[in-house]
Structure 1
Amino acid sequence: MSVRKGAPALLSAGTLCTALLLTGCASTAPSAPAGAPTSAPAAVGDSRPEGAPPRAAAGAGGPGEPTGSVSSAPVPAPRLPGLGPVTHGLVPDGTTQALVVTGATADASTSTATLYARDAGGRWTVAAGPWAAHNALRGWTDDHVAGDLRSPIGVFRLGDAGGRLPDPGARLPYDQDEEFAISGTGFLGESLEGSFDHVIAIDYNRVPGRTPLDKERPLGAGKGGGVWIHVDHGGPTHACVALEREDLRELLRALDPSREPVVVMGPAPVLAR
């Protein structure tokens, strides 16, 4: 029986029994990942601290000072560490929480996850982590398809959570359901049991506002789905991101739907563009 807490926030959204789970997430064939990256223009503005005196206008030097040498060009707002202007431009304007998952290369199956928070002045600082993580067996792709054993690259909203075990204190809507149970072994022969005790749905090819177990794939089944952040079973996934159990529980308690959280994921060279 499913118990869903809270109203869907931001975006959201199947039955990932060993079959579905073994599709997008930790096991065999990935199920359809969630939505598409959201885009937002990179912000620009004045980076001076609040209360600082205004900049002198061009050509308005003080006594004995040269005139006409002050630039009035806008100063870009701070970006998330490791992100270039193209990737950072995909982060929604209203987002003030971002989980950045970075792999060293396009083929790496291990990565690092860090949760950042943005303050009122636009500065991004570390809120939790960094944490060791696993991603898909063959690394990353910007054109994910079911069964390619690669995690999708992009910026995706985080709006729904769930798991086999009770809610550990998440602020996202949380669906506790026995259908999150999984068995079998991973790519390294490790047990998959408990991998879906807690999960956060990544909004790649899914309907926001629904349980992570939902099977609807707006982009079609061929584009994969069921891409989650789940408990690390000690090896690569099919498409998901996996964190150690306590790290994932900490992330679940930290994510706040009112802050429009997203995950930014991919290999470092791509995210730096």
Structure 2
Amino acid sequence: MPVREGTATVLTCALSAVLVLAGCAPAPPPAAAPAKAPAKASAAPAPPQGEGRDDAGRAPARIPGVGPRTQARIPDGTTQALVVSGEGVDADVAVAVLYERDPAGRWHRTAGPWTGHNALRGWTENHVAGDLRSPIGVFRLGDAGGRLPDPGARIPYDQDEEFALSGTGFLGEPLEGSFDYVVAIDYNRVPGTTPLNKERPLGPEKGGGVWIHVDHGGPTQACVSLPRENMTELLRALDPAREPVVVMGPAEVVAG
């Protein structure tokens, strides 16, 4: 796949005071950020329970764990969905499962569950820059990139040294390599551009630069993070012909 050149000259998720407000990259917490209790940081939500097959053994017509209101937000043409959910609005540990819909309209789990992280303070339905919460909703996934070469992605991939990262996260963990692979979440961004693009259609106050990236062992500013091997698996699996989306939020909200 051809590599698309980056359109931004400054990394959206770099460790700086300006880009903390952009709301994506893990970074050292502000002075007012609360300390994380070890029990909360280590607790992982349970993965979705089974496929909910009917009496005929058929896969469900609705994604397991996704309620009717959330399912209604998934575009009609979408046949691939990554569901990322956590146990409670303030949780920073999340489980991701990839589903695909067959021609009969039934959803099958194709990868996961994978355990990773979301933002330090959990989730929100009204994300603003610097709130240290991940946005709740259904968002398209169509652009990727990273510091390392394309591992075989089918969606456009922008390799760029501007994805390099250093420093430490909220728990003191090293951040190096976090942006080796990223998938842009289409929250307050221009679809069809590199994840490095800093244009914010909703305005800078609504945050942006929200990605799925390599997990570094701690919570993020607003992104979702997954283990490195799962990131490469996800990049190879996302198929633009399936119009993939991410469904993300606390389990009880996603189930609504």
Where do 4+ consecutive residues of structure 1 move more than 4 Å? none
Offset from partner CA, 1:9-56 (integer Å, 9 cap, x none)? xxxxx62333366442232499xxxxxxxxxxxxxxxx999xxxxxxx
Distance in 1 of aligned mates of 2:183 and 2:216: 16
Q: What is residue 64 of structure 2 aligned with on the other side? A: 81
Pick closer, same or farther for the CA change 1:4–1:238 going to 2, 3 Å.
farther
Distance in 1 of aligned mates of 2:72 and 2:28: 32
Report the residue type matching 2:190 in the other structure.
V
Offset from partner CA, 1:125-162 (integer Å, 9 cap, x none)? 10101100100000000000000000000000000000
Match of 1:18 among 15, 38, 54: 15
Structure 1 segment 1-273 matched on structure 2, within 5 A = 5=3, 15-16=11-12, 17-19=14-16, 22=20, 23-28=22-27, 78-273=61-256
Preserved contact between residue 27 and residue 167 of structure 2 (Cα < 8 Å): no
Distance in 2 of aligned mates of 1:220 and 1:226: 12
Bigger radius of gyration among the two: 1
Distance in 2 of aligned mates of 1:29 and 1:119: 43
Corresponding residue pairs, total:
222
Q: Shift in Å at residue 250 of structure 1? A: 0.2
Distance in 2 of aligned mates of 1:6 and 1:233: 26
Structure 1 gap ranges (5+): 8-13, 31-46, 50-76
Report the residue type matching 1:129 in the other structure.
G
Pick closer, same or farther for the CA change 1:212–1:230 going to 2, 3 Å.
same
Pick closer, same or farther for the CA change 1:144–1:29 going to 2, 3 Å.
farther
Offset from partner CA, 1:165-199 (integer Å, 9 cap, x none)? 00000000000000001111100000000000000
Distance in 2 of aligned mates of 1:139 and 1:149: 7
Preserved contact between residue 21 and residue 27 of structure 1 (Cα < 8 Å): no
Distance in 1 of aligned mates of 2:75 and 2:105: 13
Distance in 2 of aligned mates of 1:256 and 1:177: 22
Distance in 1 of aligned mates of 2:205 and 2:197: 16
- Bigger relative contact order (CA 8 A; separation at least 6): 1
Q: Shift in Å at residue 6 of structure 1? A: 6.5
Q: Shift in Å at residue 101 of structure 1? A: 0.2
Distance in 2 of aligned mates of 1:165 and 1:224: 26
Pick closer, same or farther for the CA change 1:99–1:84 going to 2, 3 Å.
same
Distance in 2 of aligned mates of 1:93 and 1:21: 35
Aligned-residue RMSD, C-alpha: 2.2
